[in-house]
Structure 1
Amino acid sequence: MHLTSSFRLFPALALGLLLAGCYSRSDMKGETSAAAPPAETPAAEVPKETAAAAAVEPPAAPAIPPAAGPLAQVNVFLEVSGSMEGFMPKTGADASNTRFQQHVAQFLSEVNRSSAARKTYFRIKEKPYRDSYQLLSQTVRGGIQQPASSTNIPTVLDTLVSGYYAPNTVNVLISDFIYSPKNAGAIPYISTDVTDALNRTQRADLAVSVYGYTSDFRGAFYPALKTAVKKINSCCDTAIPYYFWVIGPADAVRRFDAALMERQPGQQAHFGVKYPVPASSLLNRFQNVGAWYYGEKDASKRAAGAAYHTVAISSVSTKEPVEFVVGLDLKTLPGLYRDVNYLKTNLKLRAQDTDAKISSVFAANDQTKNSSGAENQYTHFVKVRVTKLGKAARPLQLMLNDQRPAWISQWTTKNDSNINQAGAKTFALSSLVDGVAAVTTTEQGQQPVFVVPLILQPAD
């Protein structure tokens, strides 16, 4: 988020030193006392980007509980500082465009067609400026006409959480998220700046989903860390990352992610979002080994669609192990948590008085989907192996730990002044994410994505 080498994303601690044209928390406070913004002006009546635009006062947050069904409000914020011009170059003679332009134009169209009651669109310049869908889409396709001199990540996040946060509402911020502290001594405080910005209004149910993408880039690239160069012209030989951050109450973020963001192939990470426990069951006629059966009292009735979670073992030993499979229906979870490699690494089994361990994790295939057995109800399967059992019933917990995905560290660089050699990376991305995680992690630590309770017991 920047334009020139002297205007980059300064830390929140240095906001008071920003030159005229940048906006601060005090500017935002002055706007919040005004009435909510008017309904979207028709495209024909909205002044073009070359004309002066009026800053939009953030709406007051209604005191209503979150509602199921369509969202009440979706706000889309697109950064239009100089650092974004390479993603949205002005249309040339060959009329070619970047992957960013294709992706964001399609996304804006999907938002505009969504069932959300109200959609509003903003350009992030010195502050949020109201746009119509048509004009924001035109900016994406035709290029930025008047880039902002500077924008500041902590200030933008503070503004979104303080002024546009409401029940049943999400804010989507589209940006390169390049945060450049004013001096190298402030770099260790990047995560603190982000945490303070998101936490200033202490939203108890705050959630943030981060989506990462890469695009070809045509223009000047402004490194965050200027150890060698202040500007790289005619960049870039490598793809450059950009991000969608979905910010809002946990339930609203979860529903928006499921409705729209799962259609956007890319990397993802989720902070503070809560998910219902997925449907699950033991499957006694699917790859089961050894002497065991359902331990529920009504299991003999075998009701259609019934779920079972108690394993009654008749006999077990090292030579005669027991293996059972738990079916999981993960279709309502984000793609990150459905990825088999992620599941293999982060699914854990907590057990007592037994050596029960996960032996394999795999996804549904054509055979399971077309089967007449209960396995056709599930998207994923976890096989558990047991060779030792206690003398009484003991609980098992199958849990999916919520670990930061590896792509975040892989996309992070400490020096982006040689971006063509470094590849698709963002300066201090891990620090930005650290700042988000600090706000959304509870005092008890990072909570698991879900926990499926099971019981392991000797047979009667």
Structure 2
Amino acid sequence: MTSSFRLLPALALGLLLLPGCYSRKDIKEEAGTETPTEVPPAEAPGAVAPKETTAAEVAPAAASSGPLTQVNVFLEVSGSMEGFMPKTGASGSNTRFQQHVAQFLSEVNRSSAARKTFLRIKEKPYRDSYQQLSQTVRGGIQQPASSTDIPTVLDTLVANYYAPNSVSVLISDFIYSPKNAGAIPYISTDITDALNRAQQQDLAVSVYGYTSDFRGTYYPALTSSVKRINSCCDTDIPYYFWVIGPADAVRRFDNALLEKQPAQQAHFGVKYPVPASSLLSRFQNVGSWYYGEKDASKRAAGASYHTVAVSSVSAKEPVEFVVGLDLKQLPGLYRDVKYLKPNLKLQAQDTDAKIIDVFAANDQTKNSSGAENQYTHFVKVRVTKLGKAARPLQLVLQNQRPAWIGQWTTKNDSNINQAGAKTFALSSLLDGVEAVTTSEQDKAPVFTIPLTLQPAD
């Protein structure tokens, strides 16, 4: 191979084995043998289904409702992952990685998915039982991989484990390790090429980032100055869950198993339903306005309204209205007020309407007898100028890359104890993912809520 890559310690979910070759002669190999079951492509879970259950014969509704039919969990077990999964010592202590991943494997094993498959990633996937993979996490890697052909693993994962109503989860640290600095500018291109080679349609990837204590040898991506850091680390080390599959399957898996605990998040190619919403005329409203819908006077229980009819408005007497949003079905990233405030935009014509506040529900709104108790978030809009006719407004949540990705990215991890919890070339890796999962035409917002602003009759 002309370039070399390495998946270093850490947990990653989905499908981002980096292209290139990973080879580390300086990673120790333990005595002993193991007899893993290699998964032939023809037998890979999620591979092309038998004739009676081909994708063409699966009803569309079956692929987007009910439990998933297949979940594949891949755990990367190179020598550099040993620091996350150290062998149990006399004290019986373990790392947060071990606690977290053991719990996750148990939840997958108990999930309602029809089939669950557990695999170790060495130079290729090897099938384990749930008990075997869980023991590896708890007791440590017994025979670490010294070489992993990353493009082959990535191709195998995308080509043979991608199927309707199925997801694959890869647990790793996703540290890219080129043979020389000249390969660094091509990281994103290599990721794009590897993910795109199988030409899978509707591909989506969710990334969940965590950190853990790390007890062992740390292998920096750039070895020109430091080849290894023994007895590492004084700082936490990031690991990731990457979830990959058809967009709707990824969304449902995320919601079922990965939204229960805090994590950094990024979502690529995943599509979400438009959240329930309504104007709230009796909640923090200011000025002279009312619901403009024809049947609004009936005030039907549970009804939602999206037309603001303004009786009078001026700079001295502004109108303010609140839109309630129910974001329960969205991932935590898009429910975070810190993400919503800079990325929720109001598109308007012939008016100076603007968002003046975005806030989450609190005990007062949840316990209220008003309609606001139905919503998780609220957007407050102020108007001082109105056109002569009805005009559309749109609340648009833009899909922007979250700030944590840049904060967790480093160009040099040879001083990881000083740099802190960062991953080499993380931004470049995700550039490669985004290029495959998001076309220029498909750079759609997370959601759009249509409203109407009009003079009162």
Residues 1:173 and 2:183 are matched in the alignment: no
Contact 1:364-1:381 within 8 A present in 2 as well: yes
Aligned residue number for residue 351 of structure 1: 348
CA distance in structure 2 between the aligned counterparts of 1:167 and 1:424, rounded to whole angstroms: 36
Aligned residue number for residue 321 of structure 1: 318
Contact 2:36-2:126 within 8 A present in 1 as well: yes
Residues 1:372 and 2:355 are matched in the alignment: no
Q: CA deviation at 1:18?
A: 7.4
CA distance in structure 1 between the aligned counterparts of 2:163 and 2:221, rounded to whole angstroms: 33
Q: CA deviation at 1:10?
A: 10
Aligned residue number for residue 30 of structure 1: none
Q: Deviations over 1:190-209 (max 9, x none)?
A: 00111111111222200000
Q: Deviations over 1:95-116 (max 9, x none)?
A: 1100000000000000011010
Q: CA deviation at 1:227?
A: 2.9
3-state SS of paired residue (1:260)? helix
CA distance in structure 2 between the aligned counterparts of 1:264 and 1:373, rounded to whole angstroms: 30
Q: Of residues 123, 126, 133 in structure 2, which corresponds to 1:126? A: 123
**CA 1:97–1:137 in 2, change beyond 3 Å: closer, same or farther?**
same
> How many residue pairs align between the two structures?
426
Q: CA deviation at 1:458?
A: 0.6
Q: CA deviation at 1:155?
A: 3.6
Aligned residue number for residue 79 of structure 1: 76
Aligned residue number for residue 3 of structure 2: none
Q: CA deviation at 1:264?
A: 3.1
Residues 1:306 and 2:303 are matched in the alignment: yes
3-state SS of paired residue (1:179)? coil
Q: CA deviation at 1:3?
A: 7.5
Aligned residue number for residue 33 of structure 1: none
Aligned residue number for residue 239 of structure 1: 236
* TM-score of the pair, normalised by structure 1: 0.90
Q: CA deviation at 1:153?
A: 4.4
Aligned residue number for residue 54 of structure 1: 37
Give the alignment of 1:43-442 within 5 angstroms: 50-57=33-40, 58=44, 59-61=47-49, 62-63=54-55, 64=58, 65=60, 66-442=63-439
Contact 1:153-1:177 within 8 A present in 2 as well: no
Q: CA deviation at 1:228?
A: 1.3
What is the percent sequence identity of the aligned residues?
A: 82
3-state SS of paired residue (2:454)? strand
Q: CA deviation at 1:243?
A: 0.4
Q: CA deviation at 1:385?
A: 0.3
Contact 1:215-1:239 within 8 A present in 2 as well: yes
Contact 1:3-1:147 within 8 A present in 2 as well: no
- Which segment is superposed worse, 200-209 or 78-87? 200-209
CA distance in structure 1 between the aligned counterparts of 2:215 and 2:315, rounded to whole angstroms: 63
CA RMSD, 1 decimal = 1.9
Q: Return the letter of the residue paired with 1:229.
A: V
Aligned residue number for residue 454 of structure 2: 457
Q: CA deviation at 1:181?
A: 1.5
Contact 2:17-2:153 within 8 A present in 1 as well: no
3-state SS of paired residue (2:155)? helix
Q: CA deviation at 1:2?
A: 4.9
Contact 1:216-1:236 within 8 A present in 2 as well: yes
Contact 1:87-1:218 within 8 A present in 2 as well: yes
Contact 1:55-1:129 within 8 A present in 2 as well: yes
Contact 2:24-2:146 within 8 A present in 1 as well: no
**CA 1:153–1:397 in 2, change beyond 3 Å: closer, same or farther?**
farther
* TM-score of the pair, normalised by structure 2: 0.90
CA distance in structure 2 between the aligned counterparts of 1:321 and 1:11, rounded to whole angstroms: 55
Q: CA deviation at 1:133?
A: 0.2
3-state SS of paired residue (1:263)? coil
Contact 1:2-1:149 within 8 A present in 2 as well: no
Q: CA deviation at 1:440?
A: 1.2
3-state SS of paired residue (2:406)? helix
- Which segment is superposed worse, 261-270 or 351-360? 261-270
3-state SS of paired residue (2:339)? helix
- Which segment is superposed worse, 225-234 or 109-118? 225-234
**CA 1:442–1:152 in 2, change beyond 3 Å: closer, same or farther?**
same
- Which segment is superposed worse, 298-307 or 153-162? 153-162
CA distance in structure 1 between the aligned counterparts of 2:251 and 2:402, rounded to whole angstroms: 18
**CA 1:187–1:444 in 2, change beyond 3 Å: closer, same or farther?**
same
